[in-house]
Amino acid sequence: MTSDKITAPAVRARKKTGPKLAVLTAYDATMAALLDEGGADVLLVGDSLGTVIAGQPNTLSVTIEQICYHGRAVLAATRRAHVVGDMPFMSYQVCADKAVEAAGAMLREGGFEAVKLEGGEVVAEQIRRIVSVGIPVMGHIGLTPQSVHAMGGYRVQGRTPDARAQLVRDARAVEQSGAYSVVLEGIPADLAREITASIDIPTIGIGAGPHCDGQVLVCYDFLGMTRGPEPRFVKHFAELGEAVLAATRAYVSEVRDGSFPTPRHSYSSAQTVSPPADPEAPHGAPS
Ligand code: KIV
């Protein structure tokens, strides 16, 4: 482990020390290397991969094997960021024993440094048991995408007095069960402020306003690569979707008119002795 590697205790300590936690999702090695080099504190291999990678309408079909496959790729390319894996739907809800086994498999097969699971009071026992075997747990309350059907869609949560009170209880239950941080998704900003002030573990917001101890966004969203309508909490920090479209159009046009490849991008048969290896070339690429 490098000396500047961010650990679960270091994430927890940021509640008191700051700065705020900058969290992004990642699903592959190329993206993870860039986000890590850019200074993201935490990379989350979210079950959002069901929608953004697999193109499914929701996250419910994601499996532990899929999360672990993407986790290994992200871990392989990450030097500094803390890497968390999302526990898939029905891998932890049934009972605490199954939850411990699933969390263990995620560390063993995926290499994760912590797991995240959705729910408050109803999964308190699962969190407590997973933490008791030495696996750090990040909670996730508010708009919990694995409950999309129960919520009747992806709707902001905590807008009635009862729902607000329940979310405050959920946050306390997650903290008291031993979680080291908690995601607050899709709740009013003033409720997120109240929860953030009432617990001693960092809150990481997504669609929960500016008062959390950190923020998380899906990497394709913050890079402007997602097509179609987006929730209001998404901010584009780049317009890579437009850049990909422009690059693809240019490539298609150059292939069609023959201006790519040029001699610069071609090999000649005259060269008989291999030149020194190009340190910039990817492994296995001919130079
Ligand atoms: O699955 C995911 O990517 C998430 C974050 C957006 C919080 O749960």
Q: How many CB atoms lie within 10 A of CB 286?
A: 7
Token pair recorded at residue 34: 């860039």
- 19 plus 89 within the same structural domain: yes
* Any domain includes 248: yes
* Any domain includes 3: no
pLDDT of residue 5: 98
- Identify the H or E element spanning 171: helix 161-176
- 215 plus 278 within the same structural domain: no
Which atom in ligand 1 lies closest to the alpha carbon of residue 204?
7
Question: How far apart (Å, rounded) are the C-alpha atoms in residues 174 and 193?
Answer: 17
- 180 plus 257 within the same structural domain: no
- 231 plus 249 within the same structural domain: no
Count of the separate structural domains present in the chain: 2
* Any domain includes 2: no
- 16 plus 33 within the same structural domain: yes
From the CB of 182, is ligand 1 less than 6 Å away? no
Burial group, residue 229, by CB count within 10 angstroms (0-12, 13-18, 19+): exposed
**Consecutive 10-residue runs of the chain (287 residues): their mean pLDDT?**
90 98 99 98 98 97 98 98 98 98 98 98 98 99 98 98 98 98 98 98 98 98 95 97 98 98 94 59 61
Which atom in ligand 1 lies closest to the alpha carbon of residue 48?
1
Token pair recorded at residue 108: 């063993």
- 65 plus 187 within the same structural domain: yes
pLDDT of residue 287: 59
Containing domain of residue 284, as a range?
Answer: 243-287
From the CB of 218, is ligand 1 less than 6 Å away? yes
Q: What is the CATH number of the domain that holds 50?
A: 3.20.20.60
- Among residues 65, 121, 185, 194, the one annotated as catalytic is 185
From the CB of 144, is ligand 1 less than 6 Å away? no
pLDDT of residue 274: 57
| End position of a domain, from candidates 197, 215, 238 | 238
- 30 plus 106 within the same structural domain: yes
pLDDT of residue 88: 98
- The residue nearest atom 2 of ligand 1, judged by CA position, is 46
pLDDT of residue 61: 98
pLDDT of residue 278: 63
- 105 plus 153 within the same structural domain: yes
